[in-house]
Structure 1
Amino acid sequence: MGLLERLKQDVLVGDGAMGTLLYERGIEQQCFEEVNLSHPEEIISIHTEYLLAGADVIQTNTYAANRLKLSKYGLEDKTAEINRRAVALAKQAAENRAFVVGTVGGIRRFQMEESTINEIEEALTEQIIVLIDEGVDGLLFETFYDLEEALLVTSIAKKHSSLPVIMNISLGDISVMSGGIHAASAFDQLTEAGADIVGLNCRMGPAHMLRSFEEIPIPTDQFLAVYPNASLPDYRDGRFFYSSNPDYFATMTEKFIDQGVRLIGGCCGTTPEHIKAIANAARTRVPVYEKKLKVAIRQPLASDRPARKDEKLSEIVKKRSSIIVELDPPKKLNVSKFMQGAKALKDAGIDALTLADNSLASPRVDNLALGTMVKEQIGARPLVHLTCRDRNLIGLQSHLMGLHTLGLHDVLTITGDPTKIGDFPGASSVYDLASYQLISMIKQLNEGLSFSGKELGEKADFTVGAAFNPNVKYIDKAVKRLEKKIESGADYFMSQPVYDINQLKAIYDETKHLDQPIYIGIMPIVSSRNAEFLHNEVPGIKLTSGIREVMAKHEGDSESSKQEGLAIAKELVDAACEWFNGIYLITPFMHYDLTVTLSEYIKERTNVIKHSN
């Protein structure tokens, strides 16, 4: 009798964790799937313990045995061997006493190095075919946070075999996947794609998963599964620990069965003792076919939040000439000169004052604090940079929630310079997200959903700028990156400084098809040394030989150097204004007098053109 036939009449018991159990028992290799080759006896021993505990279904030790994940350990060429050995070990332990399912883990999370969907398809197809060829009784897909990836892998499995497919997704919050997709909706889409068993696994313990199942109907032609974590993890002395609570699992097994679940196992932190408790409880029960569905009462998103009074920068620049000026937060605690500069720029009529986020990886006064001061004390509009380098997902969302609470709605997303170039070269660079992923997450906040998919009670109202580096050999490739950011939700772009008039025209020609406006970066040069540093040492900035030669003639005379740099900047402004409404002035070394002068110059120039027309 096959797996699906058994589920029609019985509640079946899955096995528990493999990786955390190996870890607990002192197997500390970085890649637990490699243990199939180096310590096969350990794998057989764990399978056997789960079988003796009462498991009807055991998984191959292949969760991360795909080419993409194995490549992190230099094991990509052993992909097929690791998967084949895993199936052989599970079958050897099972001795036809239990079903052996080939396990495939999800790849997509939120990380910056996230693979493309095509790369994922190739890697998972390769793994799935090996597992099928080795004669597994079914395929178990687990820990899929991304619905697109889950649907893809389900279709791959159905394309290559008629084996039963178990698809376990992982939730960002109770009942919802990332993006706010309700678990019931995800299950419907997955069963339509061909999944025979749909369920939940990982991240949550039994209590939160039970609350999710209370909102999920019992399917008529498919089955439900659940593989909860043992508990929330604890961290002590450099190691993770999970609570040992087998009796609790027995109680929760009864409740899962009442919700219509047919296959019950365990995920992170669960042990043979947990599976024994599940089995003892499940053996006394028969499947449940009907239940009263709990309808979650979700509060509507607040609609009485005051509307933004300011027009969006992305709309302003479509109508008229618009100026954004960057003034770097200071590295020291005294902010008086910064505030003086901010006021002078406000008086010069700029549209927004943009504040970098620890530029060049050096700590500065927090731009959220200064942005709030600029708004409240000066009345200027702050545009806050947000780097992916310094904060993990938790910190990024918290920071954005703080910006929203303070009414700071304009942000610029950037990847951020690596820490090795800054004051603390040994500091960690987080990079949980790439900038385009952060854009997408911010747009999700605008829908009232957290990064995990949890409802936030009201919608944010961020306008999101994105960085553009045109100082590359092939500008068409840089434009492709812009298009990717537009797909993620970017509202407008701010470019790195440009120092070549011909390049300005080239940028216009390559980007004129885009609906999203571009603020062209102009940064005055203050000395020959400054010019050489920018050209030779700052990533993403190149100066023409003519500009460097002109600045070299003024070497040693700081005042004439500044005036020459200002004249060059005005020429660039004149050229940029022929093709772009937006100018992004970058203040060098707190010389805000230069950007004040340029702001006034742009205003005067714009008025002259307006009146002449």
Structure 2
Amino acid sequence: MKTPILDEMKKRILIGDGAMGTLLYSYGIDRCFEELNVSHASEVLHVHQAYIGAGADVVQTNTYGANAIKLARYGLEHEVGRFNKAAVQLAKKAAKPETYVFGTIGGIRGFQKQSVQTEEIRRSFREQADVLLDGGVDGLLLETYYDFSELKEVLKLAREATDLPIVAHVSMQEPGVLINGMSLAEALRELESLGADIVGTNCRLGPFHMIQALRGIPLPKRAFLSAYPNGSLPDYRDGKLYYETEPGYFKKYAVDFRNEGIRLLGGCCGTTPVHIEAFRQGLSELEPIREKSVSKRVSTIIISDNHPETPLFEKAKSGRSVFVEFDTPRHLNTSGFFRGVRALQDAGADAITMADNSLASPRISNAAIGRLIKEEFTVPPLVHLTCRDRNLIGLQSHLMGLDVLGLHDVLIVTGDPTKIGDFPGATSVYDVSSMELIRLVKQFNHGISYSGKSLRHPTHFRVAAAFNPNVRNLDRAVQRLKRKIECGADYFISQPVFDRQQIIETSKALRGISAPVYIGIMPLTSATNAEFLHNEVPGIRLPDDVRERMAAARTPEEARRTSLEIAKELIDTSMEYFRGIYLITPMGRFTVTVELLKYIKEKERLLLAAPGHQAGEIV
């Protein structure tokens, strides 16, 4: 009978196995690795045997992604039981009498924080864990969790489900800090307090950077430390990934891992039996350390939201505020655009907002134009930022640039898909959703980058978010708005509304919402424009009477007059129920918007001058 693993770890350092997927991939297999437990069992068995032959004391089941959520990508979500059961059988078949077999359950949300509801994760975890535990594993290994809240949730479930040893691994993008800004030391302490028996880190970082992260980690009071570094940073050649770390490099760093207090040392992506053998040789007969001195370092993260600028939306909390959307040109002749900015400023606009390549068509950078407006005009700029055009690297770079330029007011939107624009063959990125991007921007305000690394200075962004009231289920739209508030949205700007009753219903639906909402008003340019918006632009619907009135206009002048009448009627209703109004300039025709701005200012003057005026409930 083998010694319980926690008792064995009191005496010596144990060696874990390395990557399963790396070896299978090197064999020419590039598919759902967990399905191979059934279809190519001999290959999986061979990998286990190779690691045990290299000196691994602990092997993991080939079940990292064997949950319903990840298997659904292959249409295999109903095979959770079969794949996990087969994985345990294969690992136990390969094991020697003294080998420990741990059931592996990988993180679901991953590095990109994709939106998977917590209850889905709970359900998926329970289903997979039950099969692994029924199969007779020696413990559970929770690995590659970038989302710390997810790891805490599944650790609690695991501790409720079993008394067997549990390994809990976080993953870092930057050495020593999680992507939420929490230090590795703090995270490991919390995992220990939640019942993990072995705490540590795996993936992303190679030996050098993982050692850097571990230098600030004290020995746990009860649990043991573990580390599973990557082989190296991957190289990409001829359509394949390659890892090229020399085994001697791993042998050298084995001693460093031991000196940082590691009691379980294995490998992650890019590691092979050769690397595991190098770890074994590097440790040789070394005893584990039992004391460790850690120097305390002062955090460089600054948490502050103070900034001298008054947020643009403050005015809408107690008085009338009007923003104007005026998009940057699609060409390099900017003289007409800046004449428009001057006219809108003189007419009383409280902010000029500029879309981020609206309708997926390229325009002059709104950041560049926004900075020029900030330098040359008194009206403040508000720049839109889409999830469509930039990957995570570009988004972080762009946000840092906006802060340096002093452009602190941003509207976060998903962005129209590229196929509707001038370059339908271009790629839509969407690394993050609009809600995730809102969270990222607010994380920047605490001086923390997406990877969790300190920015060395907080940003000062105020975040507007989009709201679409033109839906059948308005309550559902309001629930989405509330989720955006939870993510950090400060205020909202709506899609254009063309129905006065819809404005009233929207106001009722938003009762109890403290965040200001700017209701969108967009003048029409013609009957053709009205039909196009109604039939072809997502998120916009026009009432029949509005389309009929525009269709009845026989000349351009009649169309302009009718359009202004409709817009003023919508403004009248909006001013009864909303403090914030968002005027959308149609096709660069700023003279129309100027006239509506003057109308709002005059109407507001008259309303304030009229004693006894009773308005509806103001949002």
Interval containing the TM-score (normalised by the shorter chain) = over 0.9
Question: How much does 1:483 deviate?
Answer: 0.5
- Provide the C-alpha distance between the structure 2 equivalents of 1:309 and 1:183, rounded to a whole number of angstroms: 34
Distance 1:420 1:140, change over 3 A: same
Which residue among 5, 8, 15 is the counterpart of 1:6? Answer: 8
Question: How much does 1:308 deviate?
Answer: 4.2
Does 1:346 pair with 2:345?
A: yes
Q: Which region of structure 1 is more displaced relative to structure 2, 163-172 or 327-336?
A: 327-336
Percent same amino acid among aligned pairs?
A: 51
The residue correspondences of 1:276-287 to structure 2 (distance < 5 A) are 276-287=277-288
Provide Cα deviations, 1:544-563, integer angstroms capped at 9, x if missing partner. Answer: 111111000014x1121012
Q: Secondary structure at the match of 1:333?
A: coil
Provide Cα deviations, 1:557-581, integer angstroms capped at 9, x if missing partner. Answer: 1121012101110111111001111
Equivalent pair of 2:302/2:446 in contact (CA under 8 Å): no
Question: How much does 1:133 deviate?
Answer: 0.6
Question: How much does 1:299 deviate?
Answer: 3.5
Which residue among 557, 560, 564 is the counterpart of 1:559? Answer: 557
- Provide the C-alpha distance between the structure 2 equivalents of 1:111 and 1:417, rounded to a whole number of angstroms: 21
**AA in 2 matched with 1:429:** S
Provide Cα deviations, 1:316-343, integer angstroms capped at 9, x if missing partner. Answer: 1112111111112222232222222122
Does 1:494 pair with 2:496?
A: no
Equivalent pair of 1:111/1:434 in contact (CA under 8 Å): no
Question: How much does 1:197 deviate?
Answer: 0.2
The residue correspondences of 1:246-265 to structure 2 (distance < 5 A) are 246-265=247-266
Does 1:294 pair with 2:295?
A: yes
Q: Secondary structure at the match of 2:163?
A: coil
The residue correspondences of 1:513-532 to structure 2 (distance < 5 A) are 513-532=512-531
Provide Cα deviations, 1:108-145, integer angstroms capped at 9, x if missing partner. Answer: 13547521000011011111111101111111110001
Q: Secondary structure at the match of 1:294?
A: coil
- Provide the C-alpha distance between the structure 2 equivalents of 1:89 and 1:332, rounded to a whole number of angstroms: 63
Q: Which residue of structure 2 aligns with residue 166 of structure 1?
A: 167
Question: How much does 1:290 deviate?
Answer: 0.5
Q: Which region of structure 1 is more displaced relative to structure 2, 470-479 or 558-567?
A: 558-567
Equivalent pair of 1:110/1:432 in contact (CA under 8 Å): no
TM-score by length of 2: 0.96
Q: Which residue of structure 2 aligns with residue 377 of structure 1?
A: 376
Equivalent pair of 1:450/1:456 in contact (CA under 8 Å): yes
Q: Which residue of structure 2 aligns with residue 272 of structure 1?
A: 273
**AA in 2 matched with 1:589:** M
Does 1:397 pair with 2:396?
A: yes
- Provide the C-alpha distance between the structure 2 equivalents of 1:83 and 1:207, rounded to a whole number of angstroms: 34
Q: Which residue of structure 1 aligns with residue 314 of structure 2?
A: 315
- Provide the C-alpha distance between the structure 2 equivalents of 1:251 and 1:237, rounded to a whole number of angstroms: 31
Provide Cα deviations, 1:350-376, integer angstroms capped at 9, x if missing partner. Answer: 111111011111222211111112212
Question: How much does 1:310 deviate?
Answer: 3.2
- Provide the C-alpha distance between the structure 2 equivalents of 1:61 and 1:178, rounded to a whole number of angstroms: 27
Equivalent pair of 2:224/2:262 in contact (CA under 8 Å): yes
Q: Which residue of structure 2 aligns with residue 139 of structure 1?
A: 140
- Provide the C-alpha distance between the structure 2 equivalents of 1:302 and 1:191, rounded to a whole number of angstroms: 27
Q: Secondary structure at the match of 2:586?
A: coil
- Provide the C-alpha distance between the structure 2 equivalents of 1:111 and 1:534, rounded to a whole number of angstroms: 34
Q: Which residue of structure 2 aligns with residue 603 of structure 1?
A: 601
- Provide the C-alpha distance between the structure 2 equivalents of 1:510 and 1:598, rounded to a whole number of angstroms: 26
Which residue among 560, 563, 584 is the counterpart of 1:586? Answer: 584
Does 1:480 pair with 2:482?
A: no
Q: Which residue of structure 2 aligns with residue 412 of structure 1?
A: 411
Q: Which residue of structure 2 aligns with residue 16 of structure 1?
A: 18
Q: Secondary structure at the match of 1:103?
A: strand
Distance 1:137 1:300, change over 3 A: closer
Distance 1:447 1:479, change over 3 A: same
Question: How much does 1:309 deviate?
Answer: 4.3
**AA in 1 matched with 2:583:** L
Equivalent pair of 2:350/2:380 in contact (CA under 8 Å): yes
Q: Which residue of structure 1 aligns with residue 324 of structure 2?
A: 325
Equivalent pair of 2:411/2:463 in contact (CA under 8 Å): yes
- Provide the C-alpha distance between the structure 2 equivalents of 1:360 and 1:126, rounded to a whole number of angstroms: 43
Equivalent pair of 1:501/1:575 in contact (CA under 8 Å): yes
**AA in 1 matched with 2:317:** K
Equivalent pair of 1:112/1:434 in contact (CA under 8 Å): no
Q: Which residue of structure 2 aligns with residue 122 of structure 1?
A: 123
Provide Cα deviations, 1:400-443, integer angstroms capped at 9, x if missing partner. Answer: 10000000000001111122222222222211111111111111
- Provide the C-alpha distance between the structure 1 equivalents of 2:220 and 2:560, rounded to a whole number of angstroms: 73
Q: Which residue of structure 2 aligns with residue 229 of structure 1?
A: 230
Q: Which region of structure 1 is more displaced relative to structure 2, 340-349 or 467-476?
A: 340-349
Q: Which residue of structure 2 aligns with residue 28 of structure 1?
A: 30
The residue correspondences of 1:53-68 to structure 2 (distance < 5 A) are 53-68=54-69
**AA in 2 matched with 1:490:** A
Structure 1 stretches lacking a partner, 5+ long: none
- Provide the C-alpha distance between the structure 2 equivalents of 1:482 and 1:302, rounded to a whole number of angstroms: 26
**AA in 2 matched with 1:201:** N
- Provide the C-alpha distance between the structure 2 equivalents of 1:400 and 1:535, rounded to a whole number of angstroms: 34
TM-score by length of 1: 0.97
Provide Cα deviations, 1:178-226, integer angstroms capped at 9, x if missing partner. Answer: 2111111111111111110000100111111111111111012110000
Equivalent pair of 1:12/1:282 in contact (CA under 8 Å): no
**AA in 1 matched with 2:405:** L
Q: Secondary structure at the match of 2:565?
A: helix
Q: Secondary structure at the match of 1:58?
A: strand
Q: Which residue of structure 1 aligns with residue 239 of structure 2?
A: 238
Q: Which region of structure 1 is more displaced relative to structure 2, 281-290 or 49-58?
A: 281-290
Q: Provide the aligned C-alpha RMSD in A.
A: 1.5
- Provide the C-alpha distance between the structure 2 equivalents of 1:375 and 1:23, rounded to a whole number of angstroms: 53
- Provide the C-alpha distance between the structure 2 equivalents of 1:276 and 1:101, rounded to a whole number of angstroms: 20
- Provide the C-alpha distance between the structure 1 equivalents of 2:295 and 2:427, rounded to a whole number of angstroms: 45
**AA in 1 matched with 2:589:** H
Question: How much does 1:42 deviate?
Answer: 1.2
- Provide the C-alpha distance between the structure 1 equivalents of 2:220 and 2:274, rounded to a whole number of angstroms: 30
Q: Which residue of structure 1 aligns with residue 610 of structure 2?
A: 612
**AA in 2 matched with 1:25:** Y
The residue correspondences of 1:40-59 to structure 2 (distance < 5 A) are 40-59=41-60
Q: Which residue of structure 2 aligns with residue 568 of structure 1?
A: 566
- Provide the C-alpha distance between the structure 2 equivalents of 1:176 and 1:199, rounded to a whole number of angstroms: 13
Equivalent pair of 1:112/1:432 in contact (CA under 8 Å): no
- Provide the C-alpha distance between the structure 2 equivalents of 1:548 and 1:225, rounded to a whole number of angstroms: 67
**AA in 2 matched with 1:91:** K
Q: Which residue of structure 1 aligns with residue 616 of structure 2?
A: none
Equivalent pair of 2:111/2:146 in contact (CA under 8 Å): no
Question: How much does 1:314 deviate?
Answer: 2.2
Q: Which residue of structure 2 aligns with residue 455 of structure 1?
A: 454
Q: Secondary structure at the match of 1:589?
A: helix
Equivalent pair of 2:113/2:147 in contact (CA under 8 Å): no
**AA in 2 matched with 1:564:** T
Equivalent pair of 1:260/1:288 in contact (CA under 8 Å): yes
**AA in 1 matched with 2:577:** W
Structure 2 stretches lacking a partner, 5+ long: 612-619
The residue correspondences of 1:185-196 to structure 2 (distance < 5 A) are 185-196=186-197
Provide Cα deviations, 1:56-80, integer angstroms capped at 9, x if missing partner. Answer: 0011111111100000111101111
- Provide the C-alpha distance between the structure 2 equivalents of 1:224 and 1:298, rounded to a whole number of angstroms: 23
Q: Secondary structure at the match of 2:142?
A: strand
Equivalent pair of 1:302/1:457 in contact (CA under 8 Å): no
**AA in 2 matched with 1:512:** R
Equivalent pair of 2:301/2:454 in contact (CA under 8 Å): no
**AA in 2 matched with 1:266:** G
Equivalent pair of 2:303/2:447 in contact (CA under 8 Å): no
**AA in 1 matched with 2:200:** G
- Provide the C-alpha distance between the structure 1 equivalents of 2:49 and 2:437, rounded to a whole number of angstroms: 45
Equivalent pair of 2:443/2:450 in contact (CA under 8 Å): yes
**AA in 1 matched with 2:416:** D
